[in-house]
């Protein structure tokens, strides 16, 4: 099975320009490996559980920042 970390590493190699768009969604069930990985990356992350409004606001804000840069 493919983890979010695996997908992110592939993205960094195959399409590095897309990296700033990657948002991690986690349920908080961290392994030490996952915790270490998330500490090393600057990507946004959202913790489960979250409500749809909060998620939409996060994505909208992220997209708006990307348009300005």
Cα–Cα distance between 57 and 35 in angstroms, integer?
25
Cα–Cα distance between 16 and 6 in angstroms, integer?
14
Supply the pTM of this predicted model: 0.76
Cα–Cα distance between 9 and 3 in angstroms, integer?
10
Q: Which residue has the higher pLDDT, 67 or 47?
A: 47
Alpha helices in 1-69 (DSSP H): 4-14, 32-40, 52-68
Asked if 16 and 36 touch (Cβ cutoff 8 Å), the reply is no
Note the pLDDT tens digit of each residue in 6-56: 999 999 999 999 998 898 988 876 789 888 999 999 998 888 888 999 889
Name which of 22, 66, 29, 65 is nearest 45 in CA terms: 22
């Amino acid at each position: 099975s493919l983890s979010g970390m695996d997908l992110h590493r592939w993205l960094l190699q195959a399409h590095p320009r897309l990296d700033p768009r990657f948002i991690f969604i986690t349920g908080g069930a961290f392994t030490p490996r996952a915790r270490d990985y998330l500490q090393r990356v600057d990507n946004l992350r959202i913790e489960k559980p979250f409500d749809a409004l909060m998620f939409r606001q996060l994505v909208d804000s992220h997209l708006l920042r990307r348009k300005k840069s």
